[in-house]
Structure 1
Amino acid sequence: MPLLAVTYVKGRPGATTSALGLAATAPSDVTPVVLECDPAGGDLMRRHGLAAVPSLVDLAAIARGSTAVRDIFTSTSQPAVQTLTVGDTVVPVVAAPAGGAQTRAALPELTNAGRPVLAPADRLVVADCGRLTPGSPVWPVLRLADVVLVLVRARADELAHLRELLCELLDAGTGRLVMLLAHGGVYPAADVAEVLSAHVVEELAGDARAVTVLGPLPTDRRGAAVLDGELLAGRRWRRLPLLRGYTRLWSDLGPLLPGLRAVQPVTSSEVPR
């Protein structure tokens, strides 16, 4: 199964919220797990009242102690996965401690073994990589990913920061780069795609098709509050605009991720599962 990395380059456009939202709305024939590997520390423990252990630290210990590459997410002797509930959906998560130092120490243990550890055969791993900066310890995770989803608001300042990192993102050899426009932008997706494609071709001598622009995500405080653990999800939580936005994204992300079936676009009257 594939590895989907979620990151951002400026501000706080909701990488953790988006990673959880994508996992909660993932196609029904895959088993997702949210891997919280933000070098600044995790948020899921406090937002959703999860236990301090097991955590990313325990997952790293399992990876370090493994004598063979296997699905470390399903270890029974040393479990590292917890679960949280979004509405009627149980989402497996590997939460990170709030202190970033432990996460930064754990990340090399997970990436040193290579792709088979972070992309097990029966899991869709959605990695919350937090803010991306030059020299960040999450770069090895991005290099292993099938798709790197970069959240950005369509504003001049954030797009300028994104352009500064585009060369490094392309050179990292990531599978596919997808720019997901967060709410609060001022430019339409078509304009952002045109500007980024021109930058890739004219300044970086790259292929304009290397970057895909999706979105924008809708403004939906209630949906964000459900995913952030601030509000209980009602029976129709999947109909909230933000959750519907994540559901629709799978029709574009599915073809880019190996092992996932083609996902049909969701119409305004349909709710999956």
Structure 2
Amino acid sequence: MPLVAVTYVKGRPGATATALGLAAVAPEWARPVVVECDPAGGDLMRRHRLAAVPSVVDLAAAARGAASPGDVFAAASQPVAVREARVPVVVAPAGGAQTRAALPELTGSGRAVLGATDRMVVADCGRLGLGSPVWPLLRLADVVLVLARANTDEVAHLREHLGELVDAGAGRLVVLLGAGGVYSAADVADVLSTHVGQELARDPEAVTVLGPLPDDRRAAAVLGGELVAGRRWRRLPLMAAYARLWTDLAPYLPVAAAPHADVSAEATS
């Protein structure tokens, strides 16, 4: 199953909410699990009133001698309920020190856990910077999903990281625009592809730009643990956008043809 890494380079566009939202609307065959890998520390524990143990520290410790990655996730995760959807999450302690210590285990000897054959792993990698310990994780990812708003400063910061992101690994680089930008996805795609092709001498099609996501405060509150999901939570604009995103990501995910069809069917239902 694939590894999808969610990150950003500027601002606070909601990486944790996006990781949880994607997992909540993922097709059932994916058996998604959210892993908090943010070097600055996790948020899900407090937002959704989860226990401090188990955490990403326990996942890293168990990964070293795990016979089955699925068993490791079962022991290291806790459920977050979004109405009828129960999303397994591996929380990270606040502060970040323990997460930074755990990341080398997950990307080194325990790297098979993040590429579990029976799980769709959605890794919340937080803010990306030079020397960040999540770079090895991005190199393992099948899709690196970079969140940004379509405004001048965030696009400029993103452009400065493009060379490193394109070279990080064989996975697909996808820029997902958040709500509130001033430029269209086509405008941002033109700026980034021109930079990649002309300034970096890389394939200008190496980056895909999607979005923007809708401004949906109700769905954001549900994902932030501030509001209980209603009966029609999947129809909220942001949730529907996350569901459609799986269709856009499907060509880059190493899953069989039948699950691909299921992704499209669920996302458009």
> 1:150 maps to which residue?
146
User: Residues 133 and 174 of structure 1: is their aligned pair in 2 closer, same or farther, counting only changes over 3 Å?
Assistant: farther
Q: Deviations along 1:90-149, whole A, 9 cap, x unmatched?
A: 000100001200100110011112642211100000000000001000001100000000
Q: Deviations along 1:229-249, whole A, 9 cap, x unmatched?
A: 000001000011110110111
> 2:43 maps to which residue?
43
Q: Which amino acid aligns with 1:133?
A: G
Q: Is this contact kept in 1: 2:63–2:110, CA < 8 A?
A: no
Q: Deviations along 1:28-65, whole A, 9 cap, x unmatched?
A: 2210000101000000000000000000010111123x
Is 1:93 the equivalent of 2:89?
Answer: yes
Count of aligned pairs between the two proteins: 265
Q: Which amino acid aligns with 1:17?
A: A
TM-score, normalisation: structure 2:
0.95
Map 1:87-236; keep pairs closer than 5 Å. Answer: 87-113=83-109, 115-236=111-232
User: Residues 231 and 113 of structure 1: is their aligned pair in 2 closer, same or farther, counting only changes over 3 Å?
Assistant: same
List alignment gaps of at least 5 residues for structure 1.
none
> 2:254 maps to which residue?
258
Structure number with higher helix proportion: 2
User: Residues 85 and 186 of structure 1: is their aligned pair in 2 closer, same or farther, counting only changes over 3 Å?
Assistant: same
Is 1:30 the equivalent of 2:26?
Answer: no
SS in 2 for 1:234: coil
User: Residues 266 and 83 of structure 1: is their aligned pair in 2 closer, same or farther, counting only changes over 3 Å?
Assistant: closer
Q: Which amino acid aligns with 1:5?
A: A
Superposed CA RMSD: 1.6
Q: Which amino acid aligns with 2:131?
A: G
Distance in structure 1 (CA, Å) of the matches to 2:265 and 2:214: 17
The equivalent position to 1:75 in structure 2, one of 72, 75, 78, is 72
Q: Deviations along 1:239-267, whole A, 9 cap, x unmatched?
A: 11110110111110112111152332778
User: Residues 15 and 121 of structure 1: is their aligned pair in 2 closer, same or farther, counting only changes over 3 Å?
Assistant: same
Q: Which amino acid aligns with 2:128?
A: L
Q: Is this contact kept in 2: 1:39–1:138, CA < 8 A?
A: yes
Q: Deviations along 1:73-105, whole A, 9 cap, x unmatched?
A: 4239x9211111011100001000012001001
SS in 1 for 2:264: coil
SS in 1 for 2:148: strand
Q: Which amino acid aligns with 2:76?
A: A
List alignment gaps of at least 5 residues for structure 2.
none
SS in 2 for 1:113: coil
User: Residues 265 and 249 of structure 1: is their aligned pair in 2 closer, same or farther, counting only changes over 3 Å?
Assistant: farther
User: Residues 226 and 108 of structure 1: is their aligned pair in 2 closer, same or farther, counting only changes over 3 Å?
Assistant: same
- Percent identity, aligned pairs only, is 70
The equivalent position to 2:239 in structure 1, one of 243, 247, 257, is 243
